[in-house]
A and B are shown apart, each in its own frame.
Chain A
Amino acid sequence: MAGGIKKFVVGSFDDEAVLFPAVKNVRKQGYKIHDVYTPFPIHGLDHALGLRETSIHTAGFIYAITGTTTALSFMSWVFTKDWPLNIGGKPHFALPAWIPITFELTVLFSAVGMVLTFCYLCQLSPFVKKHHFHARATDDLFVMAIECTDKTNDEEVQSFLQKAGAKEINIQHAETGWWIGRYDREQKLYKEEKGY
Chain B
Amino acid sequence: MNQQFELPGGYKKWTWGLIAAGIIALLYGFIVLHPFAPVSNESGVHNTGTRFWAVLLQNSVYWLLVVNASMFFICVTTMAMGGWQVALRRVPEALSSVVPTLGIITFLVLMAIVWGGRTDIYIWLDKSVVAKDHILNGKSGFLNPVFFTIWSAVAIIMWWLLGRKMRSMSLESDKNGTMDYETGKKWIWKNTVWASLYTVFFGLSVASTVPWLWIMSIDAHWYSTMFSWYTFASTFVSGMSLVALFIIFLKNRGQLEYVTEEHLHDVGKFMFAFSVFWTYLWFSQYMLIWYSNQPEETKYFIERIGTADKPGPYNGLFFLNLILNFLCPLLILMKRGTKRNWTMVTIMAVLIIFGHWIDFYQMVMPGTMKEHAEMMPFEFGIAALFIGLIMWGAGRYFTKHPLTAKNHPFLKESIIHHT
Interface of A toward B, CB cutoff 8 Å: 43-44, 57, 61, 88-89, 96-97, 99-100
Contact = CB atoms under 8 A, between A and B. Distances in A.
B418 interface: yes
17 contacts: A43-B418, A44-B418, A57-B336, A61-B334, A88-B291, A88-B293, A89-B293, A96-B283, A96-B286, A96-B287, A96-B290, A96-B291, A97-B287, A97-B291, A99-B283, A99-B287, A100-B287
Nearest to B284: A100
Contacts of A99: 283, 287
Question: Per DSSP, are chain B's interface residues mostly helix, strand or loop, or mixed?
Answer: helix
Interface residues of B, number: 9
Contacts of B290: 96
A113 B5 CA distance: 50
A88 B294 CA distance: 12
Contacts of B286: 96
Contacts of B291: 88, 96-97
Interface in B275-319: 283, 286-287, 290-291, 293
Interface of B: 283, 286-287, 290-291, 293, 334, 336, 418
Contacts of A100: 287
A163 B293 CA distance: 76
A48 to B, nearest CB: 13
B209 to A, nearest CB: 29
A142 to B, nearest CB: 20
Contacts of B418: 43-44
Contacts of A89: 293
A88 B290 CA distance: 11
Contacts of B293: 88-89
A57 B336 CA distance: 9
Nearest to B331: A61
Q: Which of A43, A96, A99, A100 has the most CB of B within 10 A?
A: A96
A103 to B, nearest CB: 9
